[in-house]
Structures are given as C-alpha cells and as structure tokens.
C-alpha cells in the first residue's frame, strides 16, 4: 500500500467513527442522556469545516473562536422568521438567520445544535411553514 491509499483508509475510518458518533448523539439527545451527548458533541467539535460538511453540517466561525452550525433552512418571510425564532427562544436558544433571495439559513452555536434541531423538529408551527431542519448524514454517501 502506498501513502495515498493509507491516507484514504484513515480518512474513511475517521468518517465512519464520526457517523457512528452522530448516530449515537441523535439517539442520546432524544432520550436525554446529557453526559453521553456532551461527550459525543465534543468529539464532533474536533472536526474541521470540511469534515463536518461531509457529514452534512455547515460550520461558520464568527467572530474567531466562536463556531455556529446551520440548523435549518426556511423562506425569509416575516411570519416564518418569527415562528422559528419563537420556537427557539422558548427554549432560550439564540439563533441568527442569514437571509437572501427569499431564503433564510438558520445558525445556532454548535453547543446548541442538537437541542435546537430537536426543538424545530418537534414544533408543529415550524413544520407547517415548511422549514427544512438539517439532518446530519449517518451513512457514507
């Protein structure tokens, strides 16, 4: 095996471990096992922007050292913006919408990503507005 093949194998193994971590994290955040969820989150926090993107998570850094993850997409109508903000604010989750061309990308701190994701998925009002909640990939595609 040459160095390039070994590198590809290492990357594949890393991605598989990350996928397992996300699968476990999604199940832990549903049942409330906060200690295990926090441990898995910290493992995901170690990944680069590119590695996270391969798993379906968009990360931005602003200001330096503060990382936000995109949690949802929606239209940028005032009504939809208020419904999403209200759902998140009820759980004391801060969010920022990046709007343009009639669409909004919703960002939360990476520490609140899974909690925010669950809140949005459980909100009937958010569902009725057609908000698309990010689902990290749990399989190599």
11 or 19: whose pLDDT is higher?
Answer: 11
Check pLDDT > 90 for residue 84.
yes
Total-model pTM: 0.71
Check pLDDT > 60 for residue 33.
no
- What's the Cα-to-Cα distance from 24 to each of 36, 46, 104, 107, 128, rounded to whole Å? 9, 17, 29, 22, 28
Backbone angles phi, psi at 47, to 5 degrees: -75, 150
Percent of the chain with pLDDT over 70: 77
pLDDT tens digits for range 46-81:
888 888 888 888 889 887 888 999 999 999 999 999
- What's the Cα-to-Cα distance from 139 to each of 38, 43, 55, 57, rounded to whole Å? 21, 18, 8, 14
Tokens standing for 45?
């926090």
According to the model, what pLDDT value does residue 25 have? 54
Backbone angles phi, psi at 104, to 5 degrees: -135, 130
């Amino acid at each position: 095996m040459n160095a390039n093949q070994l590198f590809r194998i290492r990357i594949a193994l890393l991605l598989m471990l990350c996928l397992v971590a996300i699968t476990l994290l999604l199940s832990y955040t549903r049942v409330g096992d906060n200690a295990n969820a926090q441990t898995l989150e910290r493992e995901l926090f170690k990944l680069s922007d590119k590695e996270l993107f391969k798993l379906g998570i968009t990360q931005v850094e602003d200001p330096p050292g503060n990382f936000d993850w995109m949690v949802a997409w929606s239209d940028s109508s005032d009504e939809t913006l208020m419904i999403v903000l209200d759902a998140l604010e009820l759980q004391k989750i801060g969010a920022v919408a990046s709007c343009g061309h009639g669409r909004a990308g919703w960002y939360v701190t990476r520490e609140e990503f899974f909690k925010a994701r669950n809140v949005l998925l459980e909100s009937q009002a958010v569902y009725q507005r057609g908000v698309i909640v990010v689902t990290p990939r749990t399989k190599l595609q």
